[in-house]
Amino acid sequence: MPVLHNRVNNEELKQRMLAETEPRKTVSFYKYFHITEPQLFRDELYKKFKELNVFGRIYIAHEGINGQISVPENSYEAFSDALYNAAPELNGIRLNIAVDDDGRSFWVLRMKIRPKIVADGINDPSFDPARTGKYLKAKEYNQLSQQPGTIVVDMRNHYEYEVGHFKNAIEVPSDTFRDQLPMAAEMLKDKKDENIIMYCTGGIRCEKASAYLLHHGFKNVFHVEGGIIEYTRKAKEEGLPLEFIGKNFVFDERLGERITDDVIAHCHICGKPCDTHTNCKNDGCHLLFIQCEDCASTYEGCCSAECRDELHLPEEEQRARRAGRENGQKIFNKSKDHPLRKHRDEWRKEREE
């Protein structure tokens, strides 16, 4: 039996990668399709990718595959061939190549079997995540979203929606994707014949959400191909008007990529227009929230006077306080009084009238 996982220690692998001279590309991809024997499928693919010196993480489940990897540039074609040939459903799948990325963020190949590629809490064996809604390209999105009666649904988290979203998109106000699915079906239950467009950051969540709505009797379900990332790229490339306003929240050090100049969010402390996410400087808190420059200087980058004061305590005392605290909400809560929440409720009311 060949060794199908790494045996060299992490630090050494990282050094090896850093010593490479060949350029790499960072590639992400996903596909919902039925994999009968995930372990077998995984082992086959692992062998091929290992040979090609592919790094990164890939999840495989009965419902499909999801990967974010780095590929040496001169192996790129061999890599895409290997992936396309791994299953008929994978032939020609969209491979997203990250721009402004040197491909040096991975140095090990990890391929794991998971119950799902996106956790959804669904146990219904008749649910088929591969039976998805129709893809919309950027141009098609712009056309369909303009049609009267079309409903656009954001399947991301509140803090993402808050700083940027498609014009007129509604939010599904839940903290987890698994709660969002039934909630979306419930919110839209009278709209089973309308055009419904779902979207998320990279497409993987909204694609499953589209399958979920189809499964529950919705007829005209669409989703934005490749999510906001691909929409923006295409719209810019084709010179289309951008229907997405504000920032696309991403979990890198920028905490969001500006798409348009619109600032649609507000400072969580003083309420003035601002869409700069930050983490509370108090390590015992680390709350993700929006803070303007003035408040950042008043509170020294903390979310509150309490956190600022705690920051000035001796390190030991800070640690002692932290130990007694339960791991609270790390993300600004979805308060009902939040300005954007009100905005959305008003918008929804308008729509119903």
Residues marked as catalytic: 200
Q: Which residue, 216 or 334, has its beta carbon nearer to Zn ion?
A: 334
CB 249 within 8 A of CB 160: yes
Encoded tokens for 42:
């995984």
Strands of the sheet with 55-61, listed across from one edge = 96-97, 24-32, 64-72, 55-61, 109-113
Which residue in 58, 280, 290, 340 binds Zn ion (CB under 5 A)?
280
CA end-to-end distance (rounded Å), the chain: 66
- Binding residues for Zn ion, how many (CB under 5 A)? 11
The DSSP 8-state label assigned to residue 242 in this structure reads P
CB 344 within 8 A of CB 170: yes
The interface region with Zn ion, picked from 21-29, 71-79, 281-289, 336-344 by CB under 5 A, is 281-289
Q: Which residue, 37 or 317, has its beta carbon nearer to Zn ion?
A: 317
Helices within 216-324 (DSSP H only): 227-237, 293-298, 305-311, 315-323
CB 226 within 8 A of CB 96: yes
Strands 55-61 and 64-72: antiparallel
Closest CA to 290 of 248, 255, 335, 259: 255
Q: Which residue, 111 or 269, has its beta carbon nearer to Zn ion?
A: 269
- Judged on CB neighbours under 10 Å (0-12, 13-18, 19+), 280 is buried
Which residue in 40, 113, 270, 331 binds Zn ion (CB under 5 A)?
270
C-alpha–C-alpha distance, residues 253 and 259, integer Å: 17
Which residue in 155, 265, 307, 311 binds Zn ion (CB under 5 A)?
307
The least distance separating Zn ion from the CB of residue 296, rounded to whole angstroms, comes to: 8
Which residue in 269, 290, 311, 340 binds Zn ion (CB under 5 A)?
269
The least distance separating Zn ion from the CB of residue 263, rounded to whole angstroms, comes to: 13
The least distance separating Zn ion from the CB of residue 287, rounded to whole angstroms, comes to: 5
Closest CA to 65 of 2, 3, 130, 125: 130
**Within 283-302, which residues bind Zn ion (CB under 5 A)?**
285, 287, 292, 295
Beta strands in the chain (DSSP E): 24-32, 55-61, 64-72, 96-97, 109-113, 134-136, 151-154, 164-166, 170-171, 195-199, 220-224, 244-248, 257-258, 277-279, 288-290
Q: Does residue 311 interact with Zn ion by CB under 5 A?
A: no
Which residue in 35, 221, 259, 303 binds Zn ion (CB under 5 A)?
303
Q: Which residue, 61 or 287, has its beta carbon nearer to Zn ion?
A: 287
The least distance separating Zn ion from the CB of residue 83, rounded to whole angstroms, comes to: 44
Q: Which residue, 225 or 275, has its beta carbon nearer to Zn ion?
A: 275
The least distance separating Zn ion from the CB of residue 268, rounded to whole angstroms, comes to: 8
Q: Which residue, 101 or 300, has its beta carbon nearer to Zn ion?
A: 300
The least distance separating Zn ion from the CB of residue 311, rounded to whole angstroms, comes to: 9
In the three-class reduction of DSSP (H, G, I as helix; E, B as strand; rest coil), residue 279 is classed as: strand
The interface region with Zn ion, picked from 47-55, 123-131, 220-228, 276-284 by CB under 5 A, is 276-284
Contacts with Zn ion, residue ranges (CB under 5 A): 267, 269-270, 280, 282, 285, 287, 292, 295, 303, 307
